[in-house]
Amino acid sequence: MNNTKENLTGIKPILYTIVFEIKKQRKKFYFFSVIAIIIAVLLGYILQLIPSFLLSDTQAEFFNTGLQFISFLTLFAACLFFSGIICSEFDKKTGFIVFPKINKYKLILGKYFGNLSLVVAIVTIYYFILGFLGFFYYGGPINIRFFYSYGVAILYVIALSSFVTFFSSFMRSVNLTIISTLIILLIGFTIVDQIVTLIFAENFEPLYSLAYLGSLITGILEYPFPDPRFSEFSFSGMGPGGMGGDFTFGQWVTPSIAAGITLLLVFIVVYFVLAAYLFKRRQL
């Protein structure tokens, strides 16, 4: 009985922190919810009203088109919600007030889950609108792969959140964390992926890259699942200065479902554990 009571007392600060964090970030949540609604409605409804824009043949294709922006939305949401999760306590010195009151592990867990619930809610809103529009245009039932995609999107946004939290644990300021994580996630991973593919082609799959793992969100919608997952495009022509010839450009389309999900889970745990450890060690 006493043990249960102690455990409950131990969890309570985390729960209070989750609720507090949700209240604290509510303005950001409203903003991103509006953005999510606008993008979903724009891609899923307004574009279909344009006569020259043909409605996709199947519900899965419709979802695929609608989900093209989901990786950007999740990326920006994760960066803006999680960039200040740790470093703001040091940067803005709020840690002086809160660190003596609550164990740092409990604080980071509370803040992490508080922000995560909001980011997941934003993704859910987006999927809900898209799902509703898919049902509106194509009737029921909704393609099961849409729900798989939703599951992967949730895992992806959690992995992004852990990644940004990790950066926040050692960065000096919130702005620096936002800029650096955005650059790495938007440009860094893509450039490295392309270089790696250029050098190793199908011999090395860029499974280290969060951006690549994110392609499973739309990849999982395809039926049958892309096989082979590495595709090559060849083209020929004259280049500048008389240079010309045949060019082959390779690209990894999507990771396998098992590898993608496993790695997303690994990234979630590894980045979060590292972030929590660094946070615990960091002094104000």
Partner 1 sequence: MKTMIKDEEKTMMKIQEKAIPKKPIIDRSEVVIKLENLTKKFGNLTAVKNINLEVYRGETIGLVGPNGAGKTTTIKMIAKILRPNSGRILIRTNHSELQDLAKISRTISQMGFLIDIPALYNMTAYQLLRYFANIQNYPKDKIDQRIDELLERFKLSEWKFEPVKNFSKGMTQKIGIIQAIIHDPEIIILDEPQTGLDPLARVEIRKYIRELQSQGKTIFVASHMLYEISEVCDKIALINYGSIIGFDTVENLALTLKTSELNCELLNSINASELERLIDRLAESLDPYLDKNLDPMISKIPVKYYPEQQGFKIFYDGKNESKGEILKILVKEFESDFTVVSFTQPKTSQLERVYTEMVKDNDAKKKSILSGGLVKNE
Q: Does 257 bind partner 1 (CB under 8 A)?
A: no
Please calculate the CA angle 124-25-164 and round it to the nearest 5 degrees.
Answer: 75
Determine contact, residues 74/123, Cβ cutoff 8 Å.
Answer: yes
Q: How far is the CB of 281 from partner 1 (least distance, A)?
A: 9
Among 44, 95, 131, 219, binds partner 1 (CB under 8 A): 95
Pick 98 or 278: Cβ nearer partner 1 = 98
Name residues contacting partner 1, limited to 5-44 (CB under 8 A): 9, 12-13, 16-17, 20, 23-24
Pick 229 or 282: Cβ nearer partner 1 = 282
Determine contact, residues 71/153, Cβ cutoff 8 Å.
Answer: no
Q: How far is the CB of 120 from partner 1 (least distance, A)?
A: 22
Q: Does 4 bind partner 1 (CB under 8 A)?
A: no
Cα separations (Å) of 106 from 123, 125, 258? Answer: 26, 28, 32
Cα separations (Å) of 51 from 17, 38, 42, 54? Answer: 50, 20, 15, 7
Q: How far is the CB of 97 from partner 1 (least distance, A)?
A: 6
Question: 3-class DSSP state for residue 245?
Answer: strand
Cα separations (Å) of 69 from 64, 153, 228, 266? Answer: 10, 12, 25, 24
Pick 110 or 219: Cβ nearer partner 1 = 110
- Exposed/middle/buried for residue 228 (C-beta within 10 Å: 0-12, 13-18, 19+): exposed
Among 7, 38, 93, 244, binds partner 1 (CB under 8 A): 93
Total number of residues that touch partner 1 (CB under 8 A): 22
In sequence order, what are the beta bridge partners of 251? 231
Helix (H) or strand (E) holding 255: none
Among 103, 175, 231, 248, binds partner 1 (CB under 8 A): 103
Structure tokens at 34: 């509006």
Q: Assign residue 103 a region: left if phi > 0, alpha if psi is -120 to 50, beta otherwise? A: beta
Q: How far is CA 244 from the centre of its chain?
A: 40
Pick 110 or 131: Cβ nearer partner 1 = 110
Q: How far is the CB of 102 from partner 1 (least distance, A)?
A: 5
Stretch that binds partner 1, among 60-68, 98-106, 114-122, 237-245 (CB under 8 A): 98-106
Name residues contacting partner 1, limited to 73-92 (CB under 8 A): 92
Name residues contacting partner 1, limited to 146-205 (CB under 8 A): none
Q: How far is the CB of 127 from partner 1 (least distance, A)?
A: 30
Q: How far is the CB of 250 from partner 1 (least distance, A)?
A: 49
Q: Does 283 bind partner 1 (CB under 8 A)?
A: yes
Residues forming the site for partner 1 (CB under 8 A): 9, 12-13, 16-17, 20, 23-24, 92-103, 283-284
